Amino acid sequence: MIILGIETSCDETSLALISAEKNKPITVLAHETASQIDIHKKFGGVVPEIAGRKHAEYITPMLADILDRGYTPDAIAVAAGPGLITGLIMGVETAKTLSYTTHIPLIAVNHLEGHIYSVLTNENKKITFPALSLIVSGGHTELILMKDHVTYEKIGATRDDAAGECFDKVAKILQLEYPGGPKISKCATTGNRDAIAFPRPMMKDDTFDFSFAGLKTAVLYYVRDNPDASIDDICASFEQAIVDVLVAKTLKAIQKYSPKTLIISGGVSANTYLRDTMTQKISEFSEIQLFLPAQSYTTDNAAMIATAGFFKMLQNQFTDWKDLQANPNWTLEQASAK
């Protein structure tokens, strides 16, 4: 089975072809991503109007190139939401036109299920259920319980900023370039993680929800009141605070739901300190397998959309091109099979 993946929900125009069969490794045959980071960097974040225009400019030549590789897709998987509407419509309308003209069936993939399934991209792994999934991206921070493939129950989410958004906003306060996550993570390696006692919002409350706005504000006030403080110490102490919260909430959900697989995905799962800390904590639970995406599939990419598309295809979740609309607010629970 060959699946074409299309991802345009934010600032990456990405196309991929994967080869997938049930119980076999999922192999990426071709993958092209045109990043707009250098364009949006000047504005300190993604400008939706510019993102839409750039997707429009890039997508057709990239599609022509990837379809010229000698593979005929059996299905087209497109990220139909959530995300920026200016980006989503470019991917969705391209997929619809291609499906109409070629009669290749279409699968609407939720961008977040793409992140979840990124742990299987180019891997030969099997998710054992129940699975607990922590999605940490620029737009989302959610804890999801999966009792089976393509079924999602949200057990917690951020009440304000997403984890990646918090990294980006703190980076802006520190005058580090967008996207802030990688920059903060780099500075943190040479800083002292105990230098500043930043708050760990909601870490000990009874819910599986998160809140990061207060942490961001605490950094803002600290920088204002301590202009000569070491940037590396601020980054390290901030990273420690955010990782402490993510780990504590995940462990709390493990206690309640006893998952057999823990999946951590989304752009923030590229963070080495988060990966190392989670790996070390989960090693204490012999019954849980921890799945993290390969570094190259942590941030937005079409290979993960194609991978999720394969699992939706196994459940016959096709969409007629006439019925498909980009939906910037499409939730994982709305995309759930049950």
CB of 267 vs ligand KG4, minimal distance in Å: 2
From ligand KG4, Zn ion, none, which one binds at residue 185 (CB under 5 to 8 Å depending on kind)?
A: ligand KG4
Point out which residues bind Zn ion (CB under 5 A).
137, 300
Among positions 137, 158, 211, 319, the unique one binding ligand KG4 when judged by CB under 6 A: 137
- Is 212 a residue that touches ligand KG4 (CB under 6 A)? no
- Is 174 a residue that touches ligand KG4 (CB under 6 A)? no
Among positions 81, 164, 191, 309, the unique one binding ligand KG4 when judged by CB under 6 A: 164
Report the phi/psi class of residue 150: left, alpha or beta, with left for phi > 0 and alpha for psi in -120 to 50.
left
Q: Where are the alpha helices (DSSP H) in 14-154?
A: 37-41, 48-67, 85-102, 111-117
- Which residue type sits at 58? Y
CB of 84 vs ligand KG4, minimal distance in Å: 10
C-alpha to C-alpha distances, 250 to 145, 161, 211, 330, nearest whole angstrom = 11, 18, 14, 24
C-alpha to C-alpha distances, 79 to 6, 135, 136, 169, 325, nearest whole angstrom = 6, 16, 17, 26, 11
* Binding to ligand KG4, residues 270-309 (CB under 6 A): 270-271, 299-300
Q: Which is nearer to ligand KG4, 45 or 214 (CB)?
A: 45
Q: 77 near 3, Cβ under 8 Å?
A: yes
- Is 36 a residue that touches ligand KG4 (CB under 6 A)? no
- Segment interacting with ligand KG4 (CB under 6 A) among 124-132, 173-181, 211-219, 254-262: 173-181
Q: 212 near 164, Cβ under 8 Å?
A: no
Going by the DSSP 8-state scheme, the letter that residue 267 receives in this structure is: G
Footprint of ligand KG4 (CB under 6 A): 10, 137-139, 164-165, 167-168, 179-182, 185, 266-268, 270-271, 299-300
